Structure 1
Amino acid sequence: MGWRENQLLLSCGKPSGRTGSRRPPLASGQSPLYLLARAYRTGGPQDRFRRIDDRTHLPSAPERPTMPPLPDDRCGCGSGLRAVRCCRPTAVEPPSAPALDRIEARTERAADAFDRGDAATARRLCLKILDEAPAHADALTILACLLQISGPAEAAIAVLQRIRHLRPDDLNTTLDLARQLLRAARLPEAQAQARNAVRLDPGNPTSHAVLAMALTEGHQPHAGEFHYRQALALAGADAVTLANLAWNLKLQGRIDEARALYRQAAALDPAIFLTWLGWAQTEEAGRGLDTASRLLARARRIDPGHPIGGFEAALLGRQGAPEAALAVLEAAVGLDPAGLLEKGRLLDRLGRHDEAFAAMVAAKALIRQQGQGYAEPEASDLIARLGGFFIAPRLRLLPRPESPAAGAQPIFVTGAPRSGTTLVEQILSAHPAVAGGDELPALAQLVHRLPRLLDSPLAYPEALSELWMGDQRDGLDRLRDEYLRRARKLVPFRPGNRLFTDKMPFNELHLGLIALMLPAAPVVHVLRHPLDVVLSMMSHNLTHGFQCAADLETAARHCARVFELVGHYRREMPLRYLPLRYEDLVQEFEPNVRRLLDFVGLRFDRRCLRFDKNRRYARTASYAQVTEALYSRSLYRHRNYMRHLEPVIPILEPVIDSLGYSV
């Protein structure tokens, strides 16, 4: 079978060998999703050249052919084309009839070279064709195949987008574009293309599997679960899709169901490394540390060369062996950001603070190199507009909800990441009346859809001005009901739950909207010394807050902006608001737990004092800490890092003073 029958199926080809390959390390909390779906079509003879491992985030490095250097006039995207024939196109005359014959002959030679595995010849011929005929679909297709193997990913995406423009109904192009966008962590775009694939062929299991991956990676695991189950219904049970679904259920906190699916996946194909690794990570999340160690050892036997030091170190650290964990990481070569951050946390635990901070800084530098940086213009613009809209004279003109909301109601646990919000949620969800919702995306989704729901030409928050119109007087009821509908779908309710927590970090940005829609909803704002907050944000890879945690100073600036906005809300409108200091909670635990429960309208329950016995899996970076009994070792941790935190003290000093802390 030649390239024409397999075009754009590179990432759906036959799985490559399962042992001995070198792949990127998977650290604690990193998804082991088989980012490329199971092969529903088999590959051809070019597989020796074109395989992309079905079970990893990136192609195996040794299989990438080496390409010759490119001249300076080539496009910066890396496609190999001249810029005027790629991302900065100029007008070009259609080829003449003789030129067309020459182009078609070159295309046949390029296809033959591709099938033989001669990447250099195929690429050289494609570049010649596309220099003369930039919209030649077959040459673009061969080039896209080559770029998906050899990279760079951005070049593959650029070429696939051009092919999709030429052939908008081509399913294989759409699927490959979705996969490449997933590889590049461009999740909204990946999801859009995966949705297109399902629209093009709702009976295709690969379409559903790729959309399931995009939804799961994009923090919508409940929707992703539906599409994994559709893929299984259409194609039958297979080990890869079962393991992907298991990981999805793990992200939903459904540990027992995930465990059962991993057993099925391992029984169907016991030689898949990532099935055992994902199962080990699931057991670690469910507190089965010894079982996780046994499963990790099984994975090691399948693929001894696979670098999994990050997760292995995290597991050893949880088992009380930080020195052994650190030794694993120090023996590793080329740690990724997750491994470096794990190393930083271990060094901190061992009291080696300067080395710990250096590891954090190195990790953040790599994260920024990968394109994750603070979206400061967007953040500062939104915060300024929120402050400008939510002012008392304007708010007095807005209607209030016309009817009370029915059903389970939210408790908003707000605060910066790593401020203690997970601890507060774990305390609350230990109460029999409260379901733990974790980091619900429902409010952010509502904000995104709000202009459309109110039929407004304006963006949020200005779109709320539609509520002054006579035909939108019930708008707050509709917004509230839409939020509740979305949130309740994501919460694992138990019998007796009449409240649920919404703990998305930085939800305090939207205190104004919360107070309008749900004026009776309690808002618990967890406060912690700002220097402790930004230090802890440095030790984790967090995307909340417009990815402000990619750098120490941007984390400080964003936190300062948000604190200022919260103060504005409190001055301009009534809020059912409880500021709760993490330090007070830790040092005077029971009195503050009683105060917390009284604020949300619940009777005291001693189970809330034993939050570490709460068996629910907290789906956040703090999931391991809240399984431990209350400890105070994190209080004022910034004092060990004052030399490193000096640049952000002037940024945070006004907030520190206003909250009653000191430097």
Structure 2
Amino acid sequence: MELGRFEDAIASFDRVLALRPGDPVALNNQGNAFLALGREIEARKRFEAALEAVADDKLTGDAMSGAAQARSPDPRHVFALNNLGNILLAEGDIAGARTRFEAALAADPSYAEAWWNLSRLHGFAPDDPLLSQLEAQVAAEAHSEHDLMLLEFALAKAMHDVGGTERAFALWQSANARRKAELGYDIAQDRKLFAQLRERFAAPHPPIPETETDKAAPVPIFLLGLPRSGTTLIEQIVTQHSQVAPGDEIATLDREMSALDWCDPEALSREAGRVRSAYYETLTRLADGKPFVTDKMPLNFRWIGAIRALFPRASIVHVHRDPRATLWSIYRNFFSSTGNGYAHDLDDLVAYHGLYRDLMAHWAVQPGAIVDCDYEALTEAPEARSRALIDALGLRWEDACLRPQDNARAVATTSDTQVRKPIYKGSSQAWEKYAPYLEAAFAKLD
């Protein structure tokens, strides 16, 4: 699991379950592995089975005595409740997700991850009992640094809801500082990577011929840019088309590209067959028989040079919006993955935006079309811009693409609470409420 080898993890948990049928810890962990692969239906089955197993334990008294159960929440129970809540949220069942997060907190009021998850769904009011409970948890001394970070993210959102902008910003600062320290991030590591990519692709890499098997695989549609730039909305629009399956954020390519030595001029050619085979295998599983599959891993923008060489049939859509809106939205959200270390310091965010901007300019002058998608322009003229996007992808127009809020696909990213709404204007102005706290950092945007 820690190495990102989720298929191997699933197989290992299968062996555990063969030895210990119905073990709720193994079921819960296997569900996490399925969830990491975007296999929500299988993940949900494991989480539900874990909850049933815990309930059986309680009925038979296998786990602990009845009196002890009343005093001590079963951690297997709260973990599975929280994970099932995440699945329901991804599926658009906000009420069901809220019920599971509330149940997890009723069992264990100190469960930080459930507080963060619930805070995203709950509109806090000044006299809200949940607000005082959350305040008490932040003030408690027993939490780990990681849990305190999650609680501060949750309380920052609550303070935002009740109009306490000064305290909300202070909490976001503290939470982000804890996360940056936890990840051990230094912007120098990304400066080095981006310099290597610009040097490695100073000239376009020659296309690496596909095999006949490759050519039979679905065609990827890469939706990329910075996180919180609108890639999830664009995927909702595009995957309303009958020929396009949703892939969400596919980890396969990013994991393989991140592992390559970009100082080695032969690395991409040497590993091309293996990388492409693994990626097409993932696409084929996600395609459900459709000829196109989206991949909205935003930071794939780093790999555009390699994508052009490996996947000559692919479409690449660059989604962007006002950088102040993008960076502010990144800063006030917790990312469970470890690949967004730049997100937790305003100066790092501004510096990373500069790296991103310069690399996109580098890719733009190389042969191979990149479809430009302006988020603000889309919200101003949804039909015209959606039609232009579908046309640029070489697809025939379908009216369903104008109703992204009706898309029933699961969404397992930080945009999961927003994508069930019709296209709307105004979200890019949310940062203005915090302008006094942001102006020093944002003045460095150029």
**TM-score between the two structures when normalised by the length of structure 2:** 0.82
Cross-structure match for 2:71: none
2:377, 2:385 within 8 Å by CA — same for their partners in 1? Answer: yes
Partner Cα separation in structure 2 for residue 278 and residue 545 of structure 1: 21
- Give the drift of 1:492: 5.0
Letter aligned with residue 280 of structure 1: G
Cross-structure match for 2:195: 384
CA deviation map 1:248-287 (0-9, x unaligned): 3344444444443334323332253323333334333333
1:460 and 2:245 aligned: no
- Give the drift of 1:552: 0.9
1:425 and 2:235 aligned: yes
2:208, 2:310 within 8 Å by CA — same for their partners in 1? Answer: yes
1:401 and 2:209 aligned: yes
1:367, 1:550 within 8 Å by CA — same for their partners in 2? Answer: yes
2:238, 2:244 within 8 Å by CA — same for their partners in 1? Answer: yes
Partner Cα separation in structure 2 for residue 425 and residue 403 of structure 1: 28
- Give the drift of 1:556: 1.1
Cross-structure match for 2:84: 279
- Give the drift of 1:351: 4.5
Cross-structure match for 1:536: 329
**Equivalent residue of 1:626, what SS?**
coil
- Give the drift of 1:561: 0.9
> Would the alpha carbon gap of residues 412 and 461 (structure 1) be closer, same or farther in structure 2, given more than 3 Å must change?
farther
- Give the drift of 1:490: 6.2
Alignment equivalent of 1:366, drawn from 159, 175, 178:
178
2:119, 2:158 within 8 Å by CA — same for their partners in 1? Answer: no
Alignment equivalent of 1:608, drawn from 401, 404, 409:
401
1:316, 1:322 within 8 Å by CA — same for their partners in 2? Answer: no
- Give the drift of 1:565: 1.3
- Give the drift of 1:599: 1.1
Partner Cα separation in structure 1 for residue 396 and residue 125 of structure 2: 40
1:245-264 residue pairs with structure 2 within 5 A?
A: 245-264=30-49
> Would the alpha carbon gap of residues 633 and 227 (structure 1) be closer, same or farther in structure 2, given more than 3 Å must change?
farther
The unaligned stretches of length 5 or more in structure 2 are 59-73, 140-146
Cross-structure match for 1:8: none
Alignment equivalent of 1:587, drawn from 375, 380, 383:
380
- Structure number with greater Rg is 1
**Equivalent residue of 1:635, what SS?**
helix
Tell me whether 251-260 or 355-364 shows the greater mean CA deviation. Answer: 251-260
Cross-structure match for 2:28: 243
- Give the drift of 1:611: 1.6
2:219, 2:291 within 8 Å by CA — same for their partners in 1? Answer: yes
Partner Cα separation in structure 1 for residue 189 and residue 94 of structure 2: 42
**TM-score between the two structures when normalised by the length of structure 1:** 0.57
Number of aligned residue pairs: 414
Cross-structure match for 1:307: 110
- Give the drift of 1:445: 3.2
1:550 and 2:344 aligned: yes
1:233 and 2:5 aligned: no
Cross-structure match for 1:214: 2
> Would the alpha carbon gap of residues 592 and 232 (structure 1) be closer, same or farther in structure 2, given more than 3 Å must change?
same
- Give the drift of 1:347: 3.5
> Would the alpha carbon gap of residues 648 and 519 (structure 1) be closer, same or farther in structure 2, given more than 3 Å must change?
farther
> Would the alpha carbon gap of residues 246 and 577 (structure 1) be closer, same or farther in structure 2, given more than 3 Å must change?
same
**Equivalent residue of 1:506, what SS?**
helix
Partner Cα separation in structure 2 for residue 300 and residue 549 of structure 1: 28
- Give the drift of 1:557: 0.3
Letter aligned with residue 174 of structure 2: A
CA deviation map 1:286-317 (0-9, x unaligned): 3334434444555456x4x5413653564365
Cross-structure match for 2:65: none
1:440, 1:503 within 8 Å by CA — same for their partners in 2? Answer: yes
Cross-structure match for 2:167: 355
Partner Cα separation in structure 1 for residue 371 and residue 422 of structure 2: 24
Partner Cα separation in structure 2 for residue 442 and residue 408 of structure 1: 15
1:422-571 residue pairs with structure 2 within 5 A?
A: 422-448=232-258, 450=260, 459-460=261-262, 462-464=264-266, 475=269, 479=272, 482-489=275-282, 493-542=286-335, 547-571=341-365
2:224, 2:317 within 8 Å by CA — same for their partners in 1? Answer: yes
Amino-acid identity (%): 28
> Would the alpha carbon gap of residues 230 and 445 (structure 1) be closer, same or farther in structure 2, given more than 3 Å must change?
same
- Give the drift of 1:629: 2.5
Alignment equivalent of 1:341, drawn from 153, 157, 161:
153
- Give the drift of 1:222: 3.9
1:426, 1:614 within 8 Å by CA — same for their partners in 2? Answer: yes
2:105, 2:115 within 8 Å by CA — same for their partners in 1? Answer: no
Alignment equivalent of 1:329, drawn from 97, 117, 134:
134
1:228, 1:245 within 8 Å by CA — same for their partners in 2? Answer: yes
1:408-419 residue pairs with structure 2 within 5 A?
A: 408-419=218-229
> Would the alpha carbon gap of residues 223 and 375 (structure 1) be closer, same or farther in structure 2, given more than 3 Å must change?
farther
CA deviation map 1:9-46 (0-9, x unaligned): xxxxxxxxxxxxxxxxxxxxxxxxxxxxxxxxxxxxxx
1:519, 1:576 within 8 Å by CA — same for their partners in 2? Answer: no
CA deviation map 1:163-221 (0-9, x unaligned): xxxxxxxxxxxxxxxxxxxxxxxxxxxxxxxxxxxxxxxxxxxxxxxxxx435xx4x54
Partner Cα separation in structure 1 for residue 259 and residue 122 of structure 2: 45
Partner Cα separation in structure 1 for residue 28 and residue 117 of structure 2: 22
**Equivalent residue of 1:501, what SS?**
strand
Cross-structure match for 2:371: 578
1:432, 1:496 within 8 Å by CA — same for their partners in 2? Answer: no
CA deviation map 1:89-126 (0-9, x unaligned): xxxxxxxxxxxxxxxxxxxxxxxxxxxxxxxxxxxxxx
> Would the alpha carbon gap of residues 645 and 340 (structure 1) be closer, same or farther in structure 2, given more than 3 Å must change?
same
